[in-house]
């Protein structure tokens, strides 16, 4: 879980990195077009998680369904989610530091670094309730993307299944805790490297975003998992009238 969780944090971070590059210098195109473009390229992160294989906290909140069905104990699910969350954070931080060392913030005459800081400033300006509600919507779409991808039988089908839900949550600016681990951490590093005259984002700002975003993500995943559990649980129960021996 630690190794695969670290990979997932890195993979989702790569999606965020790609989206940041796509948004760099986006003043020349309409806002909505830029957001949709960022969402489409961001989907590479979840594609890597689902196709290459990794453990992502937000997608794993769907474990609440098996917990409700009595298939796994709640304590085991909570432990797994906690380990993966920390590992995701480690992977995101590693990528943020590596991207900064690679000088990504200097690309486009500093356009990438500025795009990262503008994005971070927008995310950290939201209040607790707004961020939590945004987190619910974000993980509802991410879990639906996972759900649709598992319906695919080929790599192409899986990628097409997850593409639109992921693009939708990014384009709408919803808050995904794992993506924000990379985006906010990278912006924090970039601002020091670009000699900003004022601090755009602080450690406090990062945690003030991640806490409500994580709460919202858990609720979003829980709502989807429990809805499908309630809908289909009768089909998983043995037919005691037809099989009295059971």
Instruction: For 138-187, write each residue's pLDDT tens digit.
Output: 999 999 999 999 999 999 999 999 999 999 999 999 999 999 999 999 99
> Is 146 within 8 Å of 154 (Cβ atoms)?
no
DSSP for residue 197 = S
Q: Which residue has the tokens 């990278």?
A: 186
Residue 63 has pLDDT above 50, yes or no: yes
Packing angle of the helix pair 155-171, 31-47 (nearest 10 deg): 140
Residue 77 has pLDDT above 70, yes or no: yes
Quick one: pLDDT band at residue 196, thresholds 50, 70, 90? low
Residue 239 has pLDDT above 60, yes or no: no
Where is pLDDT greater, at 199 or 22?
22
User: Which of 53, 72, 62 has the alpha carbon at shortest distance from 3?
Assistant: 53
**Architecture per CATH, 2-231:** Up-down Bundle (1.20)
What is the reported pTM? Answer: 0.90
Residue 104 has pLDDT above 70, yes or no: yes
Check residue 29 and give its pLDDT: 81
The pLDDT tens digits for 115-145 are 999 999 999 999 999 999 999 999 999 999 9
H or E element: which one contains 232? helix 203-232
Check residue 242 and give its pLDDT: 44
Check residue 246 and give its pLDDT: 41
90: Cα separation from own chain's centroid:
14
């Amino acid at each position: 879980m630690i190794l695969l969780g670290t990979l997932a944090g890195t993979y989702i971070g790569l999606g965020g990195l790609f989206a940041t590059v796509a948004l760099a210098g986006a003043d020349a195109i309409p806002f909505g077009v830029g957001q949709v473009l960022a969402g489409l390229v961001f989907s590479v992160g979840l594609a890597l998680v689902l196709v290459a294989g990794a453990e992502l906290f937000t997608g794993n909140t769907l474990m609440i369904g098996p917990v409700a069905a009595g298939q796994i104990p709640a304590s085991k699910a909570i432990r797994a989610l906690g380990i993966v969350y920390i590992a995701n954070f480690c992977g995101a931080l590693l990528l943020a530091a590596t991207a900064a060392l690679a000088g990504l913030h200097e690309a486009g005459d500093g356009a990438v670094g500025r795009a990262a800081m503008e994005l971070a400033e927008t995310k950290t300006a939201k209040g607790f309730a707004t961020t939590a509600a945004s987190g619910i919507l974000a993980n509802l779409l991410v879990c639906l993307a996972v759900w649709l991808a598992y319906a695919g039988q080929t790599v192409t089908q899986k990628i097409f299944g997850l593409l639109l839900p992921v693009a939708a949550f990014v384009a709408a600016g919803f808050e995904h805790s794992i993506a924000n681990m990379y985006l906010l951490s990278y912006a924090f590093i970039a601002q020091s490297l670009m000699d900003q005259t004022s601090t755009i984002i602080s450690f406090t700002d990062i945690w003030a975003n991640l806490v409500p975003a994580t709460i919202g993500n858990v609720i979003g995943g829980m709502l989807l998992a429990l809805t499908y559990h309630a809908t289909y649980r009768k089909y998983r129960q043995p037919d005691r009238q037809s099989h009295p021996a059971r």
